[in-house]
Amino acid sequence: MNVHEVLEKFILKEFVVDSDTNITADTDLLMQGIIDSMGIIKLVNFMEEEFGIKVGDIDMVPENFQNINSLAEFIKSRQ
């Protein structure tokens, strides 16, 4: 499973309540309310454990958490 697939699976499992909701790599997770501030903390913990990266305070900007593509790029930049 690649980074995009791992992230999508986690987000669907942890944050998407409606089983009819589909997300793509470009779905704006923040603007659509899929992930909120508490969700970001949960997502950061998952990313640190799953991908062995460290997310610092300076990394906590909306651009890094906007969609699966931006999350995957951020993870790749830290590995």
* Cβ neighbours for 22, distance < 8 A, ≥ 6 positions apart: none
Q: What per-residue confidence (pLDDT) applies to 6?
A: 96
% of residues, the chain, pLDDT over 70: 100
* Element containing residue 24 per DSSP (H, E): none
Residue-wise pLDDT for 38-52, tens only, equals 999 999 999 999 999
Written as six digits, the tokens of 24 are 């793509």
Query: How large is the greatest C-alpha to C-alpha distance in the chain, in angstroms?
Result: 35
Q: Residue 20: is its pLDDT beyond 90? A: no
* Cβ neighbours for 46, distance < 8 A, ≥ 6 positions apart: 10, 14
Q: What per-residue confidence (pLDDT) applies to 10?
A: 96
Domain limits of the chain?
Answer: 3-16+28-78
Q: Are 23 and 12 in contact (CB under 8 A)?
A: yes
pTM of the model: 0.90
Give the mean pLDDT of the chain.
93
Q: How far apart are CA 56 and CA 25, in angstroms?
A: 23
CATH code for the part of the protein at 3-16+28-78: 1.10.1200.10
